[in-house]
Amino acid sequence: MSDSAQNFIEWVSGTPLRIFIILIAAIVVQSFGGRAIHRAMKRLSTAELVLGPRNIVARQKERARTIGGVLAATLKTVLWIVAIGMVLGEFGFNLGPLIASAGILGVAIGLGAQTLVRDTLSGIFMLVEDQYGVGDNVHVLDVQGVVEKVGLRVTTVRDKEGTLWYLRNGEILKVGNQSQSG
């Protein structure tokens, strides 16, 4: 074998092979993790968690789908940030300053995104506590109508005149739900 072919094989079996393995591993972990989250949420949506008349299967499925979406997106984001960091490390980048800068940037973004975090946390607690769901007749802030969509950050309610209201979950301090019974 010629020296150039041997050098090429040595080069390919080094950094490019490790980068390829990192990317394949990230894809496999994302696939298996997404399936595991999907299966767990499917089981959660069919389990009888609340006994009695408040056990509404459609609402439970909606809550499980929303929580599953959040978990899958979180897994994907963390996984690819780590994979990109590992690939950059393979190229010889010094990740120490990058991680320190990311920490400072994270604090700045965190301070700027306080309302986003508050809306999302309020949405999570609203879903967990089952305060309202799709199809419920609610009175929220100064809006009274039927809930059309429940998200982690925003809830949409259509009033009697047909106007669709987008209500940030962090701004909702009290909710009147006329569809839930005792």
Report the pLDDT value the prediction gives residue 182, as an integer from 0 to 100.
55
Confidence band of 25 (pLDDT split at 50, 70, 90): very high
Once rounded to an integer, what is the mean pLDDT over residues 15-36?
A: 92
> What gap in Å lies between CA 174 and CA 162, rounded to an integer?
22
Dihedral of alpha carbons 138, 139, 144, 148, sign: negative
Kindly report, residue by residue over 47-106, the tens digit of the pLDDT: 765 555 555 666 677 777 777 877 888 899 999 999 998 998 888 888 888 778 877 877
Report the pLDDT value the prediction gives residue 28, as an integer from 0 to 100.
96
Report the pLDDT value the prediction gives residue 50, as an integer from 0 to 100.
56
Q: How far is CA 144 from CA 83, 101, 169, 178, 182, in A?
A: 47, 46, 15, 10, 20
β partners of residue 147 = 157
Kindly report, residue by residue over 103-130, the tens digit of the pLDDT: 787 787 777 788 888 888 888 888 778 7
Task: Look at 42 and 98; give whichever has higher pLDDT.
Answer: 42
Instruction: Please state which CATH number belongs to domain 130-177.
Output: 2.30.30.60
Instruction: Give domain limits for the chain.
Output: 3-112, 130-177
Once rounded to an integer, what is the mean pLDDT over residues 7-26?
A: 83
Instruction: Look over the chain and give the mean of its residue pLDDT values, rounded to a whole number.
Output: 83
Once rounded to an integer, what is the mean pLDDT over residues 3-7?
A: 74
- Structure-token pair, residue 165: 């209201």
Once rounded to an integer, what is the mean pLDDT over residues 143-171?
A: 91
The CATH number of 3-112, from 3.40.1480.10, 3.10.20.30, 1.10.287.1260, 3.20.20.70, is 1.10.287.1260
